[in-house]
Structures are given as structure tokens and as C-alpha cells.
Amino acid sequence: MDLISEIEDKFTRGQMITFEEAIELSKGKVEDEKLFLLADKLCKENMGYKVELCSIINAKSGSCSENCKFCAQSGHYNTGVVSYPLIDIDHVQKAAKENEKEGVHRFSIVTSGERVSDEEFEKILDMILLLRKETGLKLCASLGSLSYERAIRLKQAGVSMYHHNIEACREYYKKICDTHTYAHRISTVKNAAKAGLEVCCGGIIGMGESMEQRVKMAFEIRGLGVKSVPINILNPIKGTPLENVESLQPNQILRTIAIFRLIMPHASIRYAGGRMSLGEHQPKGFKAGINAMMVGNYLTTVGNKISDDIQMIQSMGLKI
């Protein structure tokens, strides 16, 4: 029995893939077709044929105190990104209603910076309360570091999911940021979960890490028990230390997605920033384990039209 058949047999017996098996898969010894077929089978069996759509609003931009080497919003680099303070509540409400009208299921308020101030946090709670009243959207937030007390208040206001990436595996993290620690990020994830919030936690691939380090990141995320795992593909931003990093090939991206699905068969594996780098291969992600997608514009880059993404999803025989 070959490796992929052995792994499939384990799943039929309710067992999970091991780190060693995932590493073997990451070495490229298994044909793409076989890997993608198993990932797609697991995805459809566990997550169904409906693709969840989420969108974000960049509610506070730039001037971040942290030095994450991939980020256009870091105040440590000259990237030309537009900086602005927390936007007003009417702007957020308008964006949320427009996204809901276009078919989005989840909407997230996202802010730059290590965390928001007390004054900003109170304003964001007001935004959440208004959106809870005026829309039928599932509400999310991504506000940087989060205490347990703030997590409780977000849940009480109506937030269902909190987003906070680990960005990379523990051993690689120090190479992309040293103004805060990997452990600091983990504490935010745990605070959100302890408060009863679902957690959206993923990372970025293509920052110079090895395939083995991507597998390590996936197992670290699995260990946190999160419900949603966004996979971002690095979009090298001019002015950041990673501006000249060589882009991943579509095959590398799709194999990473498939291995993430095998490692986390019951989580939403979500297309996030940088997916446009796949070009014409983007639909293949839905046959390699993707069952959720961020749509619309991203924090500092422009995305596809939501209607075009919906058309792509439906062309793959999937539902919204």
C-alpha cells in the first residue's frame, strides 16, 4: 500500500495524519493528482459543498509599531501605504451592508497596530452592536493582541470569531518579527478561545520558509483547535525586507493547501491574501482542500470583484 492509500485508510478508521507522514507528503514523492483527490474528498466529506465568504474593512491603517517583515503597514518601513486613524461608524456600516448585499457571509473589522487603545476599543464595540442590529452578517474582528477581558466584551457585543494569525511556525517566527514573540500571539488565540469566541488563525506562506516549516505551522495551528485557517500567499511589498523574495509556484501553493487540509480535515481552510498569484490555477484550490474564501479588497491590496469570485466558485460545482 502506498503512502497516500495508507493515510486514506487511517482517515476511514477515524485516525489523524502524523507529523512524519505529512513531512513525507511535503517532499513531493506523492503525485499531485493523488494528493489533491484525497484532500478534496476529505474537504467535501467534512465541510460539504458550500463555500463560506468573508470580507474585511481596513478600519485603521498604517503606522504600526511592530516590525513584521512582510507587512506594508509597519512604521519601520517606507512602503507608501496610506495611514489613517480609526474610521467612523457610518463608513463601516455602509461597507458591511454592501458586502452583505453581494453575498458575503462574514464581515470583519480589522485594525493596524499591536493593539487598539481603550477609546478605539469602545468605538469598535459600538460598530459591532450596530452591525448586529442592522445586518444578518456573522461578525468578526482582528484588532491585534487581545486580553481575555476584551475578548469577553467582544463576544457579548456580537462578535462570533476573532482573527489572529501566528504567521509562521515557532522556529521561523523570529526571522520575520522581533518586536513581539510567537508566544505573545499564542496568548491572544487562547484568550479568544477561552472567552468562547471561535478563532480564525493561519499564516503566510512564501516568506522564505521551507515546506517542512509550513507543515510545522499547520500542526501548531491544529494544536490550538481553531475553526478557520486562512492561508495567505506572500505578496512582496516594495519597501519591506521581503520585497525581493522569490514567489512560490502554483504547484507549491496547491500542495501546501492540500497538506493543510489533510492535517486539519475538520477546519475551514480559507483562501486569503495573495491568492491572485495563482492566476488561472486559482480554481484548483477548491479541488485541493479550500472550502472558504476572503473576498473583496484586502488590507493594502486590491482583490477580485466579489461577483467574479462567486462565478468562479459556482463554475466548480460549489454553492454559496
Cell numbers describing residue 279:
492566476
Cα of 301 vs its chain's centroid, Å = 15
According to the annotation, is 169 in a ligand binding site? no
pLDDT of residue 15: 96
pLDDT of residue 303: 64
Domain limits, the chain = 19-310
Q: Please report, for residues 106, 137, 220, 300, the alpha-carbon distance to residue 102 in angstroms, rounded to integers and kept in the order given.
A: 12, 12, 35, 21
CA distance 158 to 5: 44
DSSP letter for each residue of 280-307: GGGGGGGGTT--EEE-S--SSS----HH
CA distance 54 to 75: 27
Grid-cell match 506572500, residue found: 234
CA torsion angle 226 230 234 240 (round to 10)? -60
Alpha helices in the chain (DSSP H): 3-12, 19-26, 32-47, 89-101, 118-134, 148-157, 170-173, 182-194, 211-224, 250-263, 306-315
Max CA pair span of the chain? 60
Return the CATH number of the domain spanning residue range 19-310.
3.20.20.70
User: ∠ CA(241), CA(245), CA(247), 5° rounding?
Assistant: 145
| Nearest one of 255, 165, 269, 175 to 217, comparing CA atoms | 165
pLDDT of residue 67: 83
Q: What single DSSP character describes residue 59? A: E
Dihedral sign (CA 123, 129, 131, 134)? negative
Cell numbers describing residue 14:
477515524
Buried b (16+ CB within 10 A) or exposed e, 15-27: eebeeebbebbbe
Cα of 10 vs its chain's centroid, Å = 27
According to the annotation, is 140 in a ligand binding site? yes
pLDDT of residue 302: 56
According to the annotation, is 68 in a ligand binding site? yes
Q: What single DSSP character describes residue 144? A: B
Q: What is the pLDDT along the chain (320 residues), one digit of tens a residue?
A: 799 999 999 999 999 999 999 999 999 888 999 999 999 999 999 999 999 999 999 999 988 988 888 898 888 888 888 899 999 999 999 999 999 999 999 999 999 999 999 999 999 999 999 999 999 999 999 999 999 999 999 999 999 999 999 999 999 999 999 999 999 999 999 999 999 999 999 999 999 999 999 999 999 999 999 999 999 999 999 999 999 999 999 999 999 999 999 999 999 999 999 999 999 999 999 999 999 999 986 555 556 789 999 999 999 999 99
| Nearest one of 240, 286, 198, 299 to 76, comparing CA atoms | 240
Note the pTM of the prediction, 2 decimals: 0.95
